[in-house]
Structure 1
């Protein structure tokens, strides 16, 4: 079993990995992408990593009981990275001998529920955020989004969903087709609303939709 400070290039049994390119991560501040192809010896998970040299922050939510943070490391990297889990603050360092895909932080005794995480670089030196590992049966919670989609059905009932702009575009693309072509239904993921479900979706039939309205939320 891997311990903090060791290289971990793949999730161990009982864990699964999410790359920083996943839409569940919310980055703020100055972050840049570095790829394996940019460095002769680059060995980032899934070919790339995001890094900041200022007080960049990444926030996300996940459902599960355990968390591992996979980072880049070097002696000139940040020695003060703050991680907040459900309001409880800890710190870890990445200022150690050079290593790709380093297990830099681990928490394994969380309750089985949705947890809110914030990671902040507290220095003006490099912090490289490569991936996270969580429970094999857990999941990264997708952000609710900034738009409200209101759909009117043939029975005059209405459905509402908070979605990202990309999700709205996907729905419009699905609607914008000839009757009788494409999938007959559209699935909306509602897992983020109810943590006790591993998966929860609502399916709407194309032929039962009369109209829809898209409204941008103020917050």
Structure 2
């Protein structure tokens, strides 16, 4: 009887613990929706208040009250009846507009993103720091945004409190000149970058990707001079770079993108260049480098994952591993399994977690 009681108690405890974990995770990952109050940005987002450099307010009569419970302590609003517009540019994929909602607020506010029109209403039950508009999954590039409204006699308040964008993006300050004439020179296990110094009193941020047009990882910041040598590269891998100028007033847009593929220096046979040995002994032919390889990743639990990949894919994996080991980049790496063990699926990809990797081995071969 006692054993049965203990068993039942253990089962009830396990079930309760399971439900607690499930609901905790639901709370953790539940994202805010339009209409909810959002006094602070959610995880994965960053907030720019209305006074941040980069916002351009057009039209007369803009005021900046500080007496309400606004995000950051203030907001911008206007009572003027003419057309008013807030313009800005940002680099990223997601944006949210935060402002006050009330019974005397605008019913039709226009949002133009890269020439595409949207709209939202700020009219409704009174609530501060309300998430009024959201646009997700945009292309990861520079976006131009205009938020505008013409005040009416009834609903005559147009406000702008804050902007949230995804944490890997940023608000561009158009008054800061982007670095120009960026160039990249490949070397042995390094890439040397140089550009024309910005006319503004700035520092520079270096961003890199193994894919053209990004997404980019920041590999250096607070760079004082218009040059940088990237030594955390792998020979044979193509890298893509952009540079931004940064000052106390914000960050510029990206420079033009450049690319480079570091290569090892060619080794010469010193015997063939030595005139004192007219008939040198023939050396053994070099082993082929190979255009493919078997990558075997051993996990911390002892399990081995084996992949048949091109050398470019292997080098990209090594570049990700080295970057993550230095504290940069994503915590996981996606490996395409191609035709290996595909089964009935159109494609299969294996996600390898950095912290779970014990060691890996590369065995090159040629087809």
TM-score normalised by structure 2 residue count: 0.42
CA offset at residue 190 of structure 1? 8.6
User: Residue 162 of structure 2 aligns with which residue?
Assistant: 131
Question: Does structure 2 conserve the Cα–Cα contact (< 8 Å) formed by 1:72 and 1:127?
Answer: no
Q: What do residues 4-47 of structure 1 show as CA deviations (whole Å, max 9, x unaligned)? A: 111110111111111011001111112110103xxxxx210110
Structure 2, unpaired ranges of 5+: 1-30, 178-194, 208-212, 227-367
> What pairs with 1:4-19 in structure 2 (closer than 5 Å)?
4-19=34-49
> What pairs with 1:35-184 in structure 2 (closer than 5 Å)?
35-36=66-67, 42-53=68-79, 54=81, 55-124=83-152, 125-144=156-175, 159=196, 161=198, 163=200, 171=201
Distance 1:26 1:204 in 2: 30
Cα distance, 1:189–1:143 mapped onto 2, change above 3 Å? farther
CA offset at residue 73 of structure 1? 1.3
1:203 aligns with 2:224: yes
Distance 1:142 1:122 in 2: 26
Distance 2:112 2:120 in 1: 11
Distance 2:151 2:199 in 1: 35
Give aligned pairs, total. 170
CA offset at residue 144 of structure 1? 3.4
User: Residue 356 of structure 2 aligns with which residue?
Assistant: none
CA offset at residue 56 of structure 1? 1.4
Question: Does structure 2 conserve the Cα–Cα contact (< 8 Å) formed by 1:73 and 1:128?
Answer: no
Three-state SS of the structure 2 residue aligned to 1:35 is coil
Provide the alpha-carbon RMSD of the alignment.
3.0
Q: What do residues 102-152 of structure 1 show as CA deviations (whole Å, max 9, x unaligned)? A: 100001121111111000013231111100111011111111359xxxxxx
Distance 1:18 1:143 in 2: 15
Distance 1:198 1:132 in 2: 23
Structure 1, unpaired ranges of 5+: 37-41, 147-157, 164-170, 172-185, 206-219
CA offset at residue 202 of structure 1? 5.9
Cα distance, 1:79–1:139 mapped onto 2, change above 3 Å? same
User: Residue 208 of structure 1 aligns with which residue?
Assistant: none
CA offset at residue 83 of structure 1? 0.3
Three-state SS of the structure 1 residue aligned to 2:75 is strand
Distance 1:78 1:138 in 2: 29
Runs of 4+ in structure 1 over 6 Å off: none
Question: Does structure 2 conserve the Cα–Cα contact (< 8 Å) formed by 1:75 and 1:98?
Answer: yes
Cα distance, 1:201–1:85 mapped onto 2, change above 3 Å? farther
User: Residue 21 of structure 1 aligns with which residue?
Assistant: 51
| Structure of higher RCO (CA pairs closer than 8 Å, 6+ residues apart) | 1
Question: Does structure 2 conserve the Cα–Cα contact (< 8 Å) formed by 1:67 and 1:135?
Answer: yes
Question: Does structure 2 conserve the Cα–Cα contact (< 8 Å) formed by 1:138 and 1:198?
Answer: no
Distance 2:34 2:168 in 1: 22
Distance 1:88 1:122 in 2: 19
